[in-house]
Amino acid sequence: MMEWQKIDDSTYSYEDMGVRFFLLVGSEYALLIDSGMKTENAKELAQQITSLPIKLFNTHTDPDHIAGNAAFDEVMMNPAELVNYRRPHTSQQIVPVYDGDIIDLGGRPLKAIALPGHTPGSTALLDLNSGMLFSGDPVQDGRIFMFGPMRDLSAYILSLKRLLAMSGSISRIYPCHGTCPINSGIIPELIAGAERIERGELTPQPVSMFGQNAAAYDIGAAVLLCDE
Ligand SMILES: [Zn+2]
C-alpha cells in the first residue's frame, strides 16, 4: 500500500510508482514538493498529515512530477520552467521562485537553488535548518533524463559545480528518484561522469524510451539518458 513515509516529525515522502514527492510542514503552512506521477490527489493526501494550509512547489514540471497540480490555484516554480509547463486550468497562478529566494513555511526557511540542465527551470530546495536538500531530478542515483528538447548537458554540469561549492551546507540529499536519502558525495561523481560523456569518452547503450531512441551512459553513480 502506498502511504507517506515519515522522514522526521515535519518531513514526509510519498512513493508514487518510481517517483517521489515530499511534504514539509512549517508553523504557518505546509509545502508539497511536487505532486506525483499517477497520484492525482496529492493535496488530499497532504491533508491527512496536517491541517495547515498546503502550498505547492514544483522542482520542475516533467509529467511524473505534476499529477496533482490541478488541485492548486497557485503553484510556485522557477519561471524558466514555464516553457515546459501547461497549466491544468487557466486560473492557476504561477508564483515565481528565483534562484536564492527563500520560501519560509514559518520557522522553516527553504532556499531555492536553480539547477538548470535536466529542464530549464529545475530548482532544488535547501532546508536551511537541517541541511536537507530536496534536489528534484538532477541529483540522484537512478536514471537521469537528458535527451529530447530542453535538456542541456553543459548547463547540467555547470549547475552541479555550483551546487558542489555549496555542499558544506548540505546534510543529506532527498531526490525524486533512486535511493533516498543520498550523500552529497554523489555530486562530484555526477560531474565527472557527465564531463566524460561530453568529452566522448564513454560508449553508451542504445535504449528506447517512450518511443524515442536514446543513449544510456552508465557513469557508475547514475545512468544518464542522452541524445543519440
Ligand atoms: Zn522525474
What are the tens digits of pLDDT across the range 25-58? 999 999 999 999 999 999 999 999 999 999 999 9
Tell me how far the alpha carbon of residue 96 lies from the centroid of ligand 1, in angstroms.
21
What is the percentage of the chain residues whose pLDDT exceeds 90?
A: 95
Instruction: List, in order, residues 6 or more apart from 134 with CB less than 8 Å away.
Output: 22, 24, 33, 59, 110, 124, 125, 126, 127, 174
Tell me how far the alpha carbon of residue 221 lies from the centroid of ligand 1, in angstroms.
17
Per-domain residue ranges for the chain?
A: 4-143+154-184
What are the tens digits of pLDDT across the range 161-211? 999 999 999 999 999 999 999 999 999 999 999 999 999 999 999 999 888
What are the tens digits of pLDDT across the range 147-160? 998 999 999 999 99
Tell me how far the alpha carbon of residue 124 lies from the centroid of ligand 1, in angstroms.
13
Q: What mean pLDDT comes out for the span 120-134?
A: 98
Is the peptide bond between 188 and the residue preceding it cis, with omega within 30 degrees of 0? no
Tell me how far the alpha carbon of residue 132 lies from the centroid of ligand 1, in angstroms.
19
Cell (9 digits) for 151: 535538456
End-to-end alpha carbon distance in the chain: 38
The correct CATH number of 4-143+154-184 out of 3.40.50.300, 1.10.10.10, 3.60.15.10, 1.25.40.10 is 3.60.15.10
Tell me how far the alpha carbon of residue 104 lies from the centroid of ligand 1, in angstroms.
25
Residue whose cell numbers read 522542482: 59
What are the tens digits of pLDDT across the range 76-92? 999 999 999 999 999 99
Q: Are 66 and 35 in contact (CB under 8 A)?
A: yes
Tell me how far the alpha carbon of residue 30 lies from the centroid of ligand 1, in angstroms.
22
| Torsion from C-alpha of 173, 176, 181, 183, nearest 10 degrees | -40
Tell me how far the alpha carbon of residue 62 lies from the centroid of ligand 1, in angstroms.
6
Tell me how far the alpha carbon of residue 64 lies from the centroid of ligand 1, in angstroms.
5
pTM: predicted TM-score of the whole model, two decimal places: 0.97
Tell me how far the alpha carbon of residue 195 lies from the centroid of ligand 1, in angstroms.
22
Tell me how far the alpha carbon of residue 171 lies from the centroid of ligand 1, in angstroms.
22
- Output b/e per residue, 25-61; b: 16+ Cβ within 10 A: bbeebbbbbbbbbebeebbebbeebbebebbbbbbbb
